[in-house]
Structures are given as C-alpha cells and as structure tokens.
Structure 1
Amino acid sequence: MIPKLQPCLWFDKNAEEAARFYADTFPDTRIDKVMRAPGDYPAGKQGDVLTVEMTILGSPFLLLNGGPEFKFDEAVSFQVATDDQAETDRYWQAITTNGGTESVCGWCKDRFGLSWQITPKRLIELMAAGGETSRRAFESMMTMRKIDIATLDKAVEGVAS
C-alpha cells in the first residue's frame, strides 16, 4: 500500500545505513523495501540504493539517496515522546553517540544530521498544566540538554497540578 502522506528524507549515499540505524534504535521500526536505481542518475549509478521505504515508530518514511546538494537542518525535527527516564536516556544515548550531537531542551542530531526531540511525556503533561506548573517546568527545561524528569518534578514541587 502506498501511504497518502510520508516524509521523504534526503541523504547523501547513506540512506540504507541510516535506515539500519533507525531500525536498531526505535521499536515498531523496520525496513520495508530497498529500491535500486534502474539507471545512472546525478548522485549515483545504476544498481545503487536509490530509496529505502521504512516504518519508523509506526509511521511511514521514504529515505532517498539524493546526493550532497541538500542537508538537514533544525527547521525539521522528529519528536519522540518517551514514557520514562530510561527510555529518554536510551534514545538520547543512541542518537548522540557515534557522531551525533547534543543540543538543548531535549534536541539532538544523529550522525546523519537529522534533528530529534527526545521529549518525556511528563514534560508535555507539565507544560499542558498551565500556570505556575508550566512556567517552572519550562524554566527548568530551558537549562537542560537531555530532559531529566526528576529535575522537572523537583522544579514544580509544591505547585498544585
């Protein structure tokens, strides 16, 4: 089945490597189909991997080996809502090691340059609470790289939810 809507991520000859990384990192993630170029094209030769159709966290994606012309930037990122600190730590570690980089407020980049927001559901709940709770949670989050749930809870301690 061809999805009605799916993000297409542009890579420079390493779409299959990225697909394997995402499949190894996230649950409910799999490589569905690898398509090879039927002829030469500006970024590759006949037989090279052209696209990888995959499912990442249950959503369809197309990874394209388009060449070096375009790079990822923070204008597009993928937010992963985590259930607890262990899951947050696991994804953060997988993404930021081996060439990835940390940023701030739960943002990081993988070694392919793709931006991710590793966001505990607890942060989302605290921000949705409004008032003093969300203000304190927000101020605490603004000081973090990886989000620490215990630190968030301590920041809002004593505030009625």
Structure 2
Amino acid sequence: MSLSSPLITPCLWFDNEGEEAAKFYTSIFPNSEILSVSHYSEAGHETHGQLAGKVLTVNFKISNTPFVALNGGPQFKFTEAVSFQVDCKDQAEVDYYWGKLLEGGGTESECGWLKDKFGLSWQVVPVQLKEWLSGEDKEGAKRAMEAMMKMVKMDIARLKDAFKA
C-alpha cells in the first residue's frame, strides 16, 4: 500500500452490475472516475464459478472517495443498514442528487432517503439540517426534526421555516 492510499475503501457487492454502477455513480458526482477494471480468470473457477473474462472488480472514485464494485454473484443484496449520505449546500443540490440517483428505476423513501436502481441506499441531506439539529436551539431542532419526518425529499425552505417558527 502506498502512503497516499486510503486505509479503508468501501467494497460494494453486485451480482453482475458493478461496472454499470461505477459508470452511473461517476457520471453523477464531481471529481469521480473509473480507475481500473479487473476480470475473472480461469483461476479459482471451481470456487467462484464465473466465466473467464467477466468483470470481477471496478476501482473507482466518487468525489475523490475510493470505492470498489465487486461482481460477486446474487448471494448478497444491499439493505438500508448501510447508506451513503450526500451533504448538499442548497436546494439545487438536493434536487440534482435526488433526481440523478433515482434515474433508471430508483425508489423514494422518507426523510431524505432513497434507493438507486441497484438497490443502494442514499441519504440526500442539506447541511443546514445537520447544523439545526445539533445546535443550541433545542426547540427549533425539535420542530425541524418533526418537519423532516413528514418529508420524502428534503425541502430546505420548509425545514428552515419549522426551525425558525
């Protein structure tokens, strides 16, 4: 490991969609790129059962954060137990990331959560909400939390109104 390599890199397990997912994510976020692609070989075929030449892993960056997509087969699926939080500076960013991550068959949830078309969970969150919820104004934080709990996609103006009320 080089001195500039991160200590931890999230590895996302896909059935066969790892390269498609990496292309999807790198098309959405700035400072993102596919770094390398490896393929299955004949070695280990009796264990992994994959055809030689099929994509095994894709190393990529999303906003300068390293990730690996692994095409490991259908054994494991994503759950909401792990999600990625996207910190948005304004409503335009909330709207952009919300729309982009839902493209192609994603599903909305609640409180700023969604699942993309691969089943990976994301939280699209305005940074202001984090400030309001952790600040000194406990009553304002309570009102902002109550407003958030009624939302699907975050609406910063409504959250601010609730906080300031």
- 1:47 aligned partner: 53
Which of the numbers 125, 142, 146 marks the counterpart of 1:135? 142
Matched, 1:144 2:156: no
Matched, 1:87 2:93: yes
Deviation of residue 37 (structure 1)? 1.1
Deviations 1:62-97 (A, max 9, x none): 110000000000000000101110011011001123
Aligned to 1:116, the other structure's residue is in SS state strand
Query: 2:41 aligned with 1:34, yes or no?
Result: no
Q: Which residue of 2 aligns with 1:123?
A: 129
Question: For this pair of structures, how many residues does the alignment match?
Answer: 158
Tell me if the contact between 1:51 and 1:62 (Cα under 8 Å) persists in the aligned partners: yes
Contact 1:43 1:65 in 2 (8 A): no
Structure 1 unaligned residues grouped into runs of 5+: none
Q: Deviations over 1:85-143 (max 9, x none)?
A: 00110110011231100000000000000000001101111111141111011000000
Match of 1:99 among 84, 100, 105: 105
Over the matched positions of the two proteins, sequence identity in percent amounts to 50
Q: Tell me if structure 2 keeps the 8 A contact 1:30–1:56.
A: yes
8 Å CA contact retained: 1:126, 1:134: yes
- In structure 1, how many angstroms separate the alpha carbons of the residues matched to 2:6 and 2:85? 20
Q: Which runs of 5+ in 2 are unaligned?
A: none
Change (3 A) 1:43 1:107: farther
1:114 corresponds, among 95, 120, 123, to 120
Superposed CA RMSD in Å reads 1.3
For 2:62 and 2:92, the matched residues in 1 are separated by 20
Whether 1:78 and 2:81 are equivalent positions in the alignment is no
Give the alignment's TM-score, normalised by structure 1: 0.93
Q: Check the 8 A contact 1:38/1:47 in 2, yes or no.
A: yes
